[in-house]
Structure 1
């Protein structure tokens, strides 16, 4: 679909039933959800998108902020029609929270996974450091460090990919640095502390204690701030637990979505 600023958003629809829009995190790709879409599509009409400037979607001219990304996702749901449940992971949780609090589309319920309301000193220091790695060591080193932060050690050992990353060609390097610098900037600029009282739909908050990117206290604080929110943490799985602990994630999310 085309946005007013010219951004072209790549959207994929799978399955039939009540609407469910999945919103990924900092990476912004629809592919983040590829392992669980087939399961969810047995019960839902599942929509996934590449966020602006990522994957098959073009950047457009609007600034990349959490509000802009929320408006994009809401436009997708509105164009598809009907009520949608929303599930967002990490930065996607900030996007979904913004959508629901602002009543940007017709929302039935929301899942906030590995999210936060406002960057604390830990998040600011972590992402400032990641920006420094991106700028000084290059995108490949930045991406590999993200894997070390995001996945449990056993997952990385099983994959066995510990090769020293090669630097990208100059043009691609500049492109990737710009893309991820502005997306990290959007993350660090987000302040959702005034949004929880505006959420009027059933809410499930998910997280895990071994998340090194968005520590678990953020999910506890989010669940406490949103009226009536349910809190259903996993025992482990790292930041990318929808991939590494797929069954445990679905055990929490599916019953909530199916009510």
Structure 2
């Protein structure tokens, strides 16, 4: 049994979707909200947000393919396949429509799901990530992509170098610029990324970034983003994601969470909830 910091005990199960077993936490009742985490996290990223959404929504928080307790699949780490995983999970849980919220590596599949299946996505929230090579992030990328993108992208390298030092590496991502990660959640994140196979799955998302960027470009070339969308930035991505979305979105609002690190749901959960709750309600 896992209890969120708000005292809610979600139902946790393995659900078969798109050919894999997805570990998913489900809590609350009402219109569905699908929460997609990033690296190096699991569904527990949302532990302080779920209690604030569950009184109004059926909250669905999966571990992404290969991460946490979901199937460590051999392939399928491009954004398009991750979006297909998310849609199949909604099908398996009997949800015809949902709002979708993505952060970091969860943002590209959330975006593609809204682009490819707009009739199923009521609202889209994306945070602290870039959408492939779409224009608008030039200032953010002026000094080049973050160093770990290249490190993670070389097949077999990072997981070999990091063997035995996963905890120190994961801790760097969890603590650089982000405060207040509860110890039990930090421990779960570290355990989730221990071992070369866990790291291979995580780094496969980076290795598929060229494919994901192509998928995003193709989606934007074919259609506009019609789903009501909110872009949320903090540090370091800031407003770069908003600038990518502004030319292609019909209905976009954007916010910067001040004095906040990259992992917004754990750094400033109350500030995040104050943005999510009215937006998801259509206010």
Indicate the TM-score class for this superposition, using the shorter chain for normalisation: 0.7 to 0.9
Structure 1 CA distance for aligned equivalents of residues 71 and 177 of structure 2:
26
The runs of 4+ residues in structure 1 deviating greater than 6 Å are none
Alignment-derived partner of residue 149 in structure 1:
176
Structure 2 CA distance for aligned equivalents of residues 144 and 258 of structure 1:
35
Asked if structure 1 preserves the Cα contact closer than 8 Å seen for 2:98 and 2:120, the reply is yes
Displacement of 1:129 in angstroms is: 4.2
Change (3 A) 1:181 1:115: closer
Structure 2 CA distance for aligned equivalents of residues 173 and 61 of structure 1:
15
What's the TM-score, normalizing by structure 1? 0.81
Displacement of 1:107 in angstroms is: 1.0
Alignment-derived partner of residue 36 in structure 2:
23
| Structure with higher helix content | 1
Q: How big is each residue's C-alpha offset from its partner over 1:66-89, in whole Å with a ceiling of 9 and x where there is no partner?
A: 111111011111232232111111
Alignment-derived partner of residue 232 in structure 2:
206
Confirm or deny that 1:103 pairs with 2:117. Answer: yes
Structure 1, unaligned runs of 5 or more: 160-167
Displacement of 1:61 in angstroms is: 4.3
Helix, strand or coil: the match of 2:101? strand
Counterpart of 1:53 (choices 52, 66, 70) is 66
Counterpart of 1:178 (choices 191, 200, 203) is 200
Give the alignment of 1:1-259 within 5 angstroms: 1-5=15-19, 7-27=20-40, 29-79=42-92, 80-103=94-117, 106-118=120-132, 120=141, 122-123=144-145, 125-129=147-151, 135-138=160-163, 139-152=166-179, 155=180, 173-187=195-209, 189-191=211-213, 192-196=216-220, 197-208=223-234, 210-211=235-236, 214=237, 216-259=239-282
What's the TM-score, normalizing by structure 2? 0.75
Structure 2 CA distance for aligned equivalents of residues 177 and 201 of structure 1:
34
Change (3 A) 1:51 1:104: farther
